[in-house]
Amino acid sequence: MELILKKDVENLGFADDIVEVKNGYGRNYLIPQGYAVMATPSTRKMLEETLKQRSHKEKQQIETAQKQADKAQSLELKITAKAGAAEKLFGSITSADLSEVLKKEGIEIEKKYITILGGNIKRLGQYQATLRFHREAVATINFDVVAEAS
């Protein structure tokens, strides 16, 4: 079943992509949730027109997103957290925490667009994260998790 995505769907595609999915997934989840519509000839024509009109605006968005990605890569982030014995954290550092630190540095990004390599952080050390500002502007940043001064 071919569908046109109306919203970004993780592990499937971005908004306005034409994707091929199994019938049940499309009929029972994507369409009722408002994530996709059937890819009929008329909806394809509407999509083409929309993409033409949006192309100029899209270029400006990509430039802005790329500037933010470059700024993020140049940052040296340190996240402080309470730690116990053997450098183990009390709690964990998640993408939401990283989003807050980036916000303080002047970079606005939602936590759902941040992927920390290895999942949640539970120990002190150096880590990497991938930030997706736009489908064509992705940055990989390095950051340190350090113990809070007692």
DSSP label of 89: E
pLDDT, tens digit (0-9, with 9 covering 90-100), for 42-55: 999 999 988 888 88
The distance of Cα 64 from the centroid of its chain, to the nearest Å, equals 16
Domain 67-147 grouped into CATH 3.10.430.100:
yes
Architecture of domain 2-59: 3-Layer(aba) Sandwich (3.40)
pLDDT, tens digit (0-9, with 9 covering 90-100), for 70-81: 988 888 889 998
The distance of Cα 31 from the centroid of its chain, to the nearest Å, equals 23
Contacts of 4 (CB under 8 A, 6+ apart): 16, 17, 18, 36, 37, 38, 39, 43, 44, 47
In the chain, domain spans? 2-59, 67-147
Mean residue pLDDT across the chain: 90
Mean pLDDT of 135-139: 87
pLDDT, tens digit (0-9, with 9 covering 90-100), for 9-24: 988 988 889 999 999 9
Q: Compute how many other C-beta atoms are within 10 angstroms of the C-beta atom of residue 145.
A: 22
Q: Residue 31's closest CA among 49, 53, 46, 9?
A: 9
Mean pLDDT of 96-117: 90
pTM for the full predicted model: 0.67
